[in-house]
Homo-oligomer: A and B are copies of this chain.
Amino acid sequence: MNPFDPHSISSLQVPHIIRLSNNWASLSLAERTEAFIRLTRAEANDFFLSLKHHDQAEIILSLPEGEQRLWIRLLPPDDLTDVLQEIPSEQRQLILEQLDTPIRKEVLGLLAYQEDEAGGLMNPRFARLRPEMTVDEAIRYLRKQATHVETTRYLYVLNHEQKLLGVVSLRKLFTAQSESQVQDLMRTSVIKATETMSQHAISELFSKSSLMAIPVVHKSGEMKGIVTVDDILEVVQEAATEDIQKLGGTEVLNEPYLKINILPLIKKRAGWLTVLFFGEMFTATAMAYFEHEIEKAVVLALFIPLIISSGGNAGSQASTLVVRALALREARLGDWWRIFVRELAIGTALGCILGFIGLMRILLWPSRLSIYGEHYVLVAITVACSLVGIVLWGSLCGSMLPFVLKKFNLDPATASAPFVATLVDVSGLIIYFSVASVILKGSML
Q: Which A residues fall within an 8 A CB radius of B?
A: 1-4, 6, 8-14, 21-22, 25-26, 49-50, 142-143, 146-147, 151-154, 167, 169-172, 174-175, 187, 189-191, 206-212, 229-230, 232-234, 236-237, 240-241, 243-245, 247-250, 253, 256-259, 262, 265-266, 269-270, 272-274, 276-278, 280-281, 283-284, 287-288, 291, 294-295, 298-299, 301-306, 308-310, 312-314, 316-317, 319-325, 328-332, 335, 338-339, 342, 345-346, 349-350, 353-354, 357-358, 361, 371, 391, 416-418, 421-422, 425, 429
Contacts and interface: CB of A to CB of B under 8 A. Distances in A.
A312 to B, nearest CB: 7
A274 to B, nearest CB: 7
Contact of A284 (B240, B291, B306, B349): B306
Contacts of A6: 169, 171-172, 187
A194 B181 CA distance: 43
A257 B422 CA distance: 24
B309 A257 contact: no
Given A6-B172, A13-B191, A249 B298 contact: no
Contact of A4 (B26, B50, B153, B328): B153
A241 B189 CA distance: 33
A417 B248 contact: yes
A305 B330 contact: no
Given A6-B187, A266-B350, A417-B248, A146 B171 contact: yes
Contacts of A283: 305-306, 309
Contacts of A152: 153, 170-171, 174
B1 A210 contact: yes
Contacts of A262: 342, 345-346
Given A142-B174, A232-B233, A265-B346, A212 B212 contact: yes
Nearest to A353: B270
B350 A256 contact: no
Given A258-B335, A301-B301, A421-B421, 13 more contacts: A10-B191, A11-B189, A146-B170, A229-B233, A240-B244, A258-B331, A258-B339, A270-B350, A274-B353, A281-B306, A298-B298, A313-B418, A316-B416
A336 to B, nearest CB: 11
B371 A273 contact: no
B9 A190 contact: yes
A300 to B, nearest CB: 9
7 contacts: A9-B190, A262-B342, A269-B317, A277-B313, A281-B306, A291-B298, A291-B371
A444 B142 CA distance: 87
Nearest to A232: B233
Nearest to A214: B9
Nearest to A307: B280
A326 B123 CA distance: 32
Contacts of A338: 26, 258
A175 B394 CA distance: 64
B210 A3 contact: yes
Given A302-B291, A342-B262, A346-B269, A328 B241 contact: yes
Nearest to A243: B244
Contacts of A49: 210
Nearest to A250: B317
A164 to B, nearest CB: 12
B3 A273 contact: no
